[in-house]
Amino acid sequence: MVMPAPAAAGSGSPAPGNVGDVRRSNLALVLGAIAEFPPGTHPSRAQVAGATGLTKASVSSLVLDLLDAGVIREIGLNPQGRGRPGVGLELSPSRAVMGMEVNVDYISAAVVDLSGKVLRREVRERDNRNSPDKPVLAALAGLAARVRGAAGEQGVDVVGGGLAVPGLVDPARARVLTAPNLGWVNVDLDLYALLPETALGVALFNEANAAALAELRHRPDRAANFLFVSGEVGVGGGIVIGSELFTGPGGHAGEVGHIVVDPDGGHCSCGGTGCLETVAGQDAIFIAAGLAPDGSSRSAAMSALLQALEGGAPKAVSAVERAGRCLGIALASTARVVDIDSVVLGGHFAVLEPWLRAPLLDSLQKYAPGKYASEQVTVSAVGEFGALLGAAGSVIRSLVAAPHRLQA
């Protein structure tokens, strides 16, 4: 249930020092233990004490605080062998966080409960290219208010959220350093306006990193080392090493989309030339396939591309195969620098995988022979909503690490 990855900046609990710090640390310990029990099980106070090493009296006191904060609830009786059954505990279904995403051609919002279950999700197609941040965030705030209101009607209180954007970010200052496909440079976002009057506020994430976090949580093979590469209008990447998101000293590692794959290629939105994005980005593929944007929606354009591919249209097949070859070149280059076990394809790379897989594997074998077997290149386990789930999941983790923030 808890994302094994870094929490939002500045959201961790303080190091134990005085009595208050110790109690806060123990609150996190107890809530974390409850969250780690398998879904459908309801540990008793005695079982939580056994899992944490705390005394039963301490756990009982801490549980009362967590009940008052509304993050857990009592449910049923849990048999414990001999003696009277204990009262079961579980994460409260009446508390949730919101994952939000701004991408080049859509905005989205989802309410996710503390166990990671998506309660409600909405996506609105919107052309955000070169659009100022204020109208984009105003549209997202409206969408978030509607989704939050619908959850509230079901008795669910949204206590905070996470926003994922396709660019380099400074979470501590709520600043987008650069998002070339949005046209944003050093933009300070009014995150409070997205979810006003919430205890946890809103944390800011890079879209590909957020999706990588979701992949880490949901992958059936529990892979601890992988590169997640996301295909949208831009191309992003997230690196996971030892079950931790690796972002580098400045938080900007994983920019796979701007690895040069064709030195004589086209101009990229980042200001460079011949980047992977200029060949394998969504718009680049549409144009090369003869499906130049004509005002149609993102989903309609992708449907047209898939129809052309299924019909064997030469230009469409050639465009996707070239994207696959160039993606393989970029992944081969990454593999030479970062020691990771596997590659996970997300976004439109997952959708187009049947057509780009063979040229991708050919490139990997040519430029990084023996590095990856075919079974080490897989598609995303979370689909197109990975950034939403990852942003929400990281906020949930930060709450579990510091539940005292919900106390009055």
Nearest-angstrom CA–CA distance, 317 and 278: 17
Q: CB–CB of 106/298 below 8 Å?
A: yes
Contacts of 32 (CB under 8 A, 6+ apart): 2, 400, 401
What strands, in cross-sheet order, belong to the sheet with 118-125?
118-125, 106-113, 95-102, 157-165, 202-206
Name the DSSP class of 266.
P
Nearest-angstrom CA–CA distance, 348 and 359: 16
Q: For the chain, how many residues are written?
A: 408
Question: Minimal CA–CA distance to 212: which of 257, 275, 254?
Answer: 254
Using a 10 angstrom Cβ sphere, with 0-12 exposed, 13-18 middle and 19 or more buried, the burial of residue 87 is middle
- What values do phi and psi take at 8, rounded to 5? -60, 145
For each of the chain's 408 residues, which pLDDT tens digit applies? 333 344 443 444 444 456 678 889 999 999 999 999 888 888 999 999 999 999 999 999 999 999 999 999 998 766 555 555 678 999 999 999 999 999 988 999 999 999 999 999 999 999 898 899 999 999 999 999 999 999 999 999 999 999 999 989 999 999 999 998 899 999 999 999 999 999 999 999 999 999 999 998 888 777 788 999 998 888 989 999 998 888 888 777 888 899 999 998 889 888 899 999 999 999 899 999 988 666 667 778 889 999 999 999 999 999 999 999 999 999 999 988 888 889 999 999 999 999 999 999 999 999 999 888 899 999 998 888 899 999 999 999 999 999 988 875
pLDDT of residue 40: 81
Q: Which residues pair with 106 in a beta bridge?
A: 125
- What tokens were used for 203? 């944390």
Q: If phi over 0 gives left and psi between -120 and 50 gives alpha, with beta otherwise, what is residue 10?
A: left
Nearest-angstrom CA–CA distance, 285 and 235: 12
Within the chain, what is the greatest distance between any pair of CA atoms?
A: 76
Q: E strand or H helix at 246, and its extent? A: strand 244-246
pLDDT of residue 97: 96
Strand ranges for 247-328 from DSSP E: none
Cα-only R_g, the chain: 23
pLDDT of residue 296: 64
Q: E strand or H helix at 241, and its extent? A: strand 235-241
pTM of the predicted protein model? 0.85
Q: What three-state secondary structure class fits 54? A: coil
Measured in Å, how far apart are the chain's first and last C-alpha atoms?
25
